[in-house]
């Protein structure tokens, strides 16, 4: 905001100076300059003047001799944008403009990968978006091919190449059938950025429990709980045991520990015992002592 | 100016007069609270004796209450106080008796049975406890016997716990803007529908944590008119179990007072979920759940803490379904006693009479709070 204001005020000042002073010289400017590159501004006429280069976030000032070339070394201008050039002499003022464009060579990627955790086996469940920048953090708007690569610990690799549009490229990837921490990499040439995407098991599948007498109680133990792709459902997942008997009911929510859920409940002859996890129902047992 | 001085003088005189009147002829309750003569009536009847006991409990005059008991030789004063306020920190620890009811059940010349119903005011609302007191005649006075309920003593032991816990590390302030943060838990509303009640619209439903991490959850609903303009926004407040472990389901109930269902064109639901550090323990068994039909429709049962950790506050949420499996009501009750390991504690959730006949099945979930952290 402050730089814009400075730019505006400078422009107004120059315009006023142009009205006040007669023109008696000219200058030769490049139409575009690549960010960070060296460049030269040639002026005509004679006498001394002050050269201003005013852009968004950057202002350069040089005392120059009219009629000579003014050299700006590499790194002088690095923010892409439109720049105003002003020669302010003793009796005259002249202005022109040129553009600083992003460097053509990408130097940095901003990589957004979503989500960081998702269930296995989802089509286009993972999205990666890349913004390409040059060494001075200017967004490179020129089309640039970006390679997206999602690999999981079992060695499966998904790869897509997408060309950027207005500096951005994005791709969708499928989560695989195996749980684990996948590595999601976006790459342009030798520049890359990596993210980790956790693929977690889905809903339990084929939930099954067994019951046996344990003293005056019934001991209920599930088989190792797995999803439909064979991944072990993580510990802490809630498994609900329900025992219904003679109009009464007992319920207990048990977290999986070491892959199984285990609980002891009061033993009621003829009771119907069921097991569920979330919206998934398991088997049902009719309990006879 | 002179009017102002006159008014000030009048106010000062009135204040002095009222102070003098209050000091010379105080109201009985003020005397009692100031430690003077008792507010209590003579214990010449069984009802008066129990009412006196109720007043002493309300004023937390534990010494006087204990002294008035006929069977005080059977227990100590601390045991009596713990029976009323809890042995372990619980809702009752910070509760006070708002009022009480005395209901005669049976009386003869020398003994009587009186029901004392204490209405406690707790941090989560009202709680009622009822004791049936045996009252005996001692000369010209009646003295109640307190039915002491001693808290079971948990034998000293070591209970091995396979301690399962989740902790969360969020992204730091210095991370690049494109850097990942930990994903919020994925939750899903698996059932939702509005019901019209006498006092407004109620939204009932169930929320599932379909993720593999624990979630702090809440549900907000916005009623929209037929022209899609918002009518009101409310959230589930405490009619939900806010902590959901993976694959756990909680019911929720959202009230919109003074809104008619006919005004509602649509409803916008917004489930909120956030990662939360949590523990998978304690495990609470809900035993012997029984649905009782109207009149006095209720769900009763017992909670059994299967872990070694003492649960200070338990919140019981009942979801009631009709024959088609649709949620017809959600009700809850806070347990005002701490849950000790393996010690059954009863609960009773009341069901509205008009809905009770539609209830075919139910599901109960427990939210627990232990001192030193949630869950």
**Same domain for A195 and A209?**
no
Of the three residues A77, A101, A125, the one that is the final residue of a domain is A101
State the alpha helices, DSSP H only, in chain A: 2-20
User: Does residue B290 belong to the interface with chain A, where contact is any CB pair within 8 Å?
Assistant: yes
Judging contacts by C-beta atoms under 8 Å, the chain A residues touching residue B291 are: 247
For chain A, the 3-state helix, strand and coil shares in percent, each to the nearest 5, are 5, 55, 35
Bridge partners (DSSP) listed for residue B346: B302
Measure the CA–CA gap between B114 and B146, rounded to whole angstroms.
11
Q: Tell me the backbone φ, ψ of residue B57, rounded to 5 degrees.
A: -65, -40
Mapped onto helix, strand or coil, the DSSP state of residue A25 is coil
Mean pLDDT of chain B: 90
User: In this predicted model, what pLDDT tens digit does every residue of A241-271 receive, in sequence order?
Assistant: 999 998 899 999 999 999 999 999 999 999 9
pLDDT at B176: 65
ipTM attached to this prediction? 0.77
Q: What is the CA radius of gyration of chain A?
A: 35
Are residues A237 and B247 in contact, defined by beta-carbon separation less than 8 angstroms?
yes
Q: Which of A217, A226, A249 to mutate to test the interface with B (most CBs of B within 10 A)?
A: A249
User: Does residue A194 belong to the interface with chain B, where contact is any CB pair within 8 Å?
Assistant: no
**Same domain for A166 and A142?**
yes
CA A191 to chain centre: 15
Mapped onto helix, strand or coil, the DSSP state of residue B8 is helix
Expressed as residue numbers, the domain containing A14 is: 2-101
Nearest CA in chain A to B305: A252
Nearest to B271 by CA among B216, B231, B223: B216
pLDDT at A77: 93
**Same domain for A130 and A169?**
yes
Between the alpha carbon of residue A51 and those of residues A7, A255, B103, the distances in Å are: 15, 74, 100
| Total count of domains within chain A | 3
Of the three residues A175, A200, A225, the one that is the final residue of a domain is A200
Residues in contact with A102: Cβ distance below 8 Å, sequence separation at least 6, in sequence order: A34, A35, A80, A133, A134, A136, A138, A139, A140, A141, A142
Bridge partners (DSSP) listed for residue B142: B137
User: Does residue A113 belong to the interface with chain B, where contact is any CB pair within 8 Å?
Assistant: yes
Nearest to A172 by CA among A183, A182, A160: A160
Mapped onto helix, strand or coil, the DSSP state of residue A252 is strand
**Same domain for A143 and A158?**
yes
User: Does residue A195 belong to the interface with chain B, where contact is any CB pair within 8 Å?
Assistant: yes
Nearest CA in chain A to B178: A112
**Same domain for A170 and A209?**
no
Judging contacts by C-beta atoms under 8 Å, the chain B residues touching residue A201 are: 212
CATH of the domain at A255: 2.60.40
Measure the CA–CA gap between A197 and A112, rounded to whole angstroms.
11
pLDDT at B31: 66
**Same domain for A69 and A121?**
no
CB within 8 Å: B210 and A235: no
CB within 8 Å: A117 and B212: yes
Please, which pLDDT band fits residue A163 given cuts at 50, 70 and 90? very high
**B263: DSSP letter:** G
**Same domain for A123 and A187?**
yes
User: In this predicted model, what pLDDT tens digit does every residue of B162-203 receive, in sequence order?
Assistant: 668 888 888 777 666 666 678 899 999 999 999 999 999 999
Size of chain A, expressed as the number of residues it contains: 289
pLDDT at A21: 38
Residues in contact with B348: Cβ distance below 8 Å, sequence separation at least 6, in sequence order: B298, B299, B300, B333
For residue A89, pLDDT over 90 is answered with no
Judging contacts by C-beta atoms under 8 Å, the chain B residues touching residue A265 are: 285, 287
Are residues A148 and A180 in contact, defined by beta-carbon separation less than 8 angstroms?
no
CATH of the domain at A79: 2.60.40.1930
A243 burial type by CB count under 10 A (0-12 exposed, 13-18 middle, 19+ buried): buried
């Amino acid at each position: 905001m402050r730089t814009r204001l400075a730019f505006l005020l400078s422009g107004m000042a120059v315009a006023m100076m142009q009205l006040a002073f007669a023109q008696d010289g000219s200058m030769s400017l490049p139409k575009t300059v690549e960010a960070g590159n060296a460049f030269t501004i040639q002026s005509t006429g004679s006498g001394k003047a002050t050269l201003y280069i005013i852009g968004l976030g950057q202002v350069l000032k040089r005392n120059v001799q009219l009629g000579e070339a003014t050299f700006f070394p590499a790194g002088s201008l690095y923010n892409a944008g439109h720049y105003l050039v002003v020669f302010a002499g003793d009796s005259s003022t002249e202005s022109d403009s040129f553009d600083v464009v992003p460097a053509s060579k990408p130097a940095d990627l901003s990589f957004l990968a979503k989500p960081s955790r998702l269930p296995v086996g989802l089509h286009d469940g993972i999205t990666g978006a890349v913004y390409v920048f040059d060494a001075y953090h200017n967004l490179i708007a020129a089309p640039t091919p970006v390679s997206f690569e999602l690999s999981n610990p079992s060695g499966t690799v998904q790869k897509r190449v997408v060309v950027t549009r207005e500096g951005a490229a994005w791709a969708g990837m499928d989560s695989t059938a195996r749980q684990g921490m996948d590595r999601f990499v976006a790459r342009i040439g030798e520049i890359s950025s990596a993210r980790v995407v956790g693929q977690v098991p889905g809903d339990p599948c084929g939930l099954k429990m067994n019951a046996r007498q344990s003293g005056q109680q019934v001991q209920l133990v599930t088989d190792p709980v797995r999803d439909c792709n064979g991944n072990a459902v993580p510990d802490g997942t809630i498994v609900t045991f329900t025992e219904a008997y003679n109009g009464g009911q007992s319920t207990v929510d048990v977290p999986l520990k070491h892959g199984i859920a285990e609980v002891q409940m009061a033993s009621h002859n003829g009771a119907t015992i069921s097991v569920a996890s979330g919206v998934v129902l398991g088997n049902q047992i009719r309990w006879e002592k | 100016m002179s009017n102002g001085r006159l008014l000030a003088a009048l106010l000062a005189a009135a204040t002095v007069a009222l102070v003098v009147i209050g000091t010379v002829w105080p109201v009985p309750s003020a005397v009692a609270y100031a430690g003077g003569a008792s507010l209590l009536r003579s214990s010449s009847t069984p009802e008066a004796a129990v009412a006196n006991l109720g007043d002493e409990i309300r004023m937390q005059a534990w010494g006087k209450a204990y002294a008035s008991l006929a069977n005080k030789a059977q227990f100590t004063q601390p045991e009596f106080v713990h029976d009323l306020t809890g042995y372990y920190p619980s809702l009752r620890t910070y509760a006070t008796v708002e009022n009480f009811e005395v209901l005669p059940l049976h009386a003869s010349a020398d003994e009587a049975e009186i029901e004392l119903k204490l209405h406690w005011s707790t941090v989560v609302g009202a709680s009622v406890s009822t004791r049936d007191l045996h009252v005996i005649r001692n000369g010209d006075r009646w003295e109640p016997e307190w039915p002491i309920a001693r808290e079971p003593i948990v034998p000293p032991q070591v209970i091995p716990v396979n301690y399962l816990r989740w902790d969360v590390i969020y992204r730091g302030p210095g991370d690049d803007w494109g850097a990942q943060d930990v994903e919020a838990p994925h939750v899903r509303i698996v059932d939702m529908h509005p019901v019209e009640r006498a006092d407004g619209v109620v939204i009932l439903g169930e929320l599932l944590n379909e993720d593999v991490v624990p979630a702090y959850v809440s549900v907000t609903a916005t009623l929209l008119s037929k022209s899609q303009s918002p009518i009101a926004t409310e959230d589930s407040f405490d009619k939900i179990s806010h902590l959901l472990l993976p694959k756990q389901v909680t019911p929720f109930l959202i009230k919109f007072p003074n809104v008619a269902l006919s005004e509602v064109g649509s409803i916008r639901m917004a489930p909120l979920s956030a990662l939360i550090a949590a523990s998978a323990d304690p495990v609470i068994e809900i035993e012997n759940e029984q649905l009782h039909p109207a009149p006095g429709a209720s769900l009763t049962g017992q909670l059994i803490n299967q872990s070694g950790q003492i649960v200070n506050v338990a919140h019981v949420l009942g979801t009631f379904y009709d024959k088609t499996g649709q949620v017809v009501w959600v009700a809850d009750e806070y347990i005002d006693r701490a849950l000790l390991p393996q010690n059954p504690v009863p609960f009773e959730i009341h069901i509205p009479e008009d809905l009770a006949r539609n209830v075919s099945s139910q599901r109960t979930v427990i939210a627990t709070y232990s001192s030193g952290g949630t869950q």
